[in-house]
Structure 1
Amino acid sequence: MKKIFVNALILSGILLMASCSDDDSKVVPADVPFVNPEVAEVYVGTQSPGDVWTWSLDKEQGHMTASWDYGTFDDTSDDIAIEGTFETFPSGFMKVTITNAEPANDEIPTDGTAWFYALEIPGMAMIIKPEGSIKGDIIAMVPEGDCANIPGSYNYIITAPGGQSDFDPITDEAFGYVDFAASGNGFDISGYKFSLDCVNDGACTDSGTIEGLPVATCVNNGFVEIMDGGKTVAQGQFTNAGAMMMDFGYGNGGVFALKTDANATKDALLNNTYNGIAYLPKHNDEQTVPVKLSFAKNDLNNMIGTGYKYTNIENGTVDNEEGAVVIVEDVINGRVLGSMNFDEDNDVSDMAAALLVNGNDQILIVTSYDEESLNPIILILAKQN
C-alpha cells in the first residue's frame, strides 16, 4: 500500500465510546459476521492528501472493519480492507488494533504493532489517529445521515491538506463557508474561502467566491458524489446532526465542515472541556498529538481556552507544563475568529474555527499555525463534560 499508508494514513486514533457487552450470558450466534451489518455504525472520512475511509463499528462484539481508498474513486482494485478489535479507555479514547488486512501488506502489520486511537461523538463525528507502525495523518469521519437533511450553510476547515509539506494556512485557503441548495435531483454548491491572514483585516491573500463545482448528487444515507465528465471528482458524507466531510481525491485534500448554528455562540464554549487531536501536517515524526482544551473567561471577560497534550492517551495523563492558549474574539453562527499563542510571549497566530452545538454534544474544529515556525496546526475537538 505504498508509503502513502505511512504518510497518508497517518493520523488519528480511534476513540469509540463503546466496546463489548459486559453481559457474559449473551452469546453471539456462530453465523454472525465479524461486523454485524444489522447493528454496525458506519462512518466515512477523509485523510491527507485526499484519501477516503469507511469504518463499520460493531459495539456489541467490539469489532470493526474499514475500507481505504487512497484517492482513485472510480477504481476499487487498489482498495484495502482492514479488520480489527477495539477497547475504550477511561480517558474516553478508544484503541483499535488491526488483526487482518486484505490484500496483505508489509506496511499494515496484523501482529498487534499497528493500531488506531480514536475519539467519537456518537451520531456526530469520529476522530482517528493512526499509531504504532502506521503512525500518520489524522482521519476525520462523520456517520451516515439522510439526503433530505443536506441543504444548508456549512462552516468548513481544511483538515486534510492536499500537499502537507506545502500547505501554508496563512496564505493558502484554510477555512470558509459553503452552501448546499437543492436543485432537481442534486445540490448546487456555492461559498466563500479565506486564508488565515484575512482574520485580523490583514492581506487576505487567498479569498474569494468558490466557483466551478458541478452539481452534487446524494447517492444514499447522506453520501454525496460530485461528477465531472463522467468521473468522480469528490465524495462527501453528511450527518443528520450537521457535520460533513468532503474529499477531493488523492493530492487534492479534503475538508471537515459543520452546519451554521445560531446556538454556536462564544458563551457556548464557557466552562467546557474538549478532548481531541492536534494535526501537525509538516511534522515528520509526530503529525498527530492527543490534546485537552478547557475554556473559561478571564478578568477582562475574554473567552480563553487553555490546552495541553496528553502524555498517555490510555490513562488520560496530560503535560501541564507546555501548552497553548486559544483566544476567542468572536463567534457568529458557529464561525469562530481569534488567535492562538504557544509560548507565552506577545506573539500570536491568527485562528479560525467552526463550532457545532447539538444539545450537550459539541464539535470544535480549529485552524492556526505556530507563531515561530509558521507551521500549520489543525485541531479537531469533542466536548467531554
Structure 2
Amino acid sequence: MTQTTAATSQVEYGANALIVCDNLVRIYQVENIEVQALQGLDLLVDKGEMIAIVGQSGSGKSTLLNVLSGLDVPTAGAARVAGWDLLRMSHADRLTYRRSVVGFVWQQTARNLLPYLSARENVMLPMAFDGVSGRRRGERADELLAAMGMADKGARRPAQLSGGEQQRVAIAVALANEPEVIFADEPTGELDSSTGDDVFAALRAANQELGATVVVVTHDHAVSSQVQRTVAIRDGRTATEVVRRTHVDDEGQTQTIHEEYAVLDRAGRMQLPKDYRDALGLRDRVRLELEPDHVGVWNDTAPHRERPAEAPVAQAPAAPATPPQRDVPAQDAATGASDGPDPYAPPAPTPPPRASKLPENFDIDAARGDDAPYLPRTSPDPRTRNEEAQDD
C-alpha cells in the first residue's frame, strides 16, 4: 500500500461546485495602459442554484460573465464550469461549450432572437445545430414555450411580441439544448417592474422545474428578493453576499429573511462596506483586535478600547526623584578619552581675576633695554630660592 501524500489527499477547492473561480484575474491592454478588470476573484456556485451577481459599472461583473460564458479568456487563475477548464479549451471546445453547456439571455432582444423566424422556430434553431431530429425539435420547443407561458404565441415573430414576451422566448431558446447553466445579462434592464417580475418568474421556472442553474448579472440590487443568493462585486473582487432564507415564526407565519455577509476570500482579504468606513473614518490602515468571539476593527488614530477597571494595588512609597537619564559622549575604554565635550555638562566656573603682580625673579632692567615684551627669567632651583628667602 503506497503512502498518500498531503498534496493528493487535500480536497481541491470547489471540488463539488458547478462553477468555480479561484483567484481569477483578467487584464486588458487599452492604449498601452493595463486595466485589471478582475483582481483575484473567488466564486463558487453549486448545481441547481439561482444567484445574482450585482455591481456598479466598472466593477468587473460583465468581464466575469464573458469569461464564464466562454466568450473571453482569463489572464490568470482558474475558472471551471461543469468540469470544463475555461483557460485550456481549444477553439473547437469553446464552440461546443457555448452550444451545449451554457445558455444565454442578453439584455438586447436582437441578440436573442432572429427577427424573421417565429418564436417556435427560434427555439428549434439551436437544436438543429446540435443534430436533434426535426420531430424532437418541435416537441422540445412546444414544451419550453409552455413552461414560459408562451404556448399560444409560438407562431408570432419577435416584432409581434412585447418586451417581456420576447425575453421569455429568449429563455426558452437558452434552454433548448438542455444546458447546465443559464447566464442572463440584465434580462430586465429594458422592462418595467411588472414585466420584469414575469421574466424572473420564467427564470425561476427554468431553475426549479427544468433543473438549470441560473446566474443573473445586473446592476440592480433589488433582485435579491428574486434569487436565493446575491453576490456583490467591487473592484474586481467578490465583496458581499446576501442570502435569502425563509423562517417560520412562533405563529406559523412564513417570513423571508435577507442576511448580508462580507466575503472572506482564500487569501484572507475582506472588503469593508463604504458606509462602515465613512461612519468610523477608516482609511489607509486599521488595527485589529482578536476577541473570544469576534475580531474588532479600530481606527489607527483612535485610542484603544477601555478595559474594565482592576482592583487597586497598594503602592510602595515613591522613590526620591532622580535626575533624568542623558547621553554622554562615548569614552575610549583604554585611555578614557572622550569623543567630544559633554553637551549636557554645566558650564565651568569663571576663575577669579589674578592680581597684577610681577614675578619675583623678573629683571626689569633687562626688560627696559629691550623692545621685547616682558618675559620672566628662567625659574631658579626652588631650593636656592628658599635659601635666599632665609638670608633675608
For this structure pair, what is the TM-score category when the shorter chain's length is used for normalisation?
under 0.3
User: What TM-score, normalized by structure 1, do the two folds share?
Assistant: 0.20
Higher strand share: 1
Which has the greater radius of gyration?
2
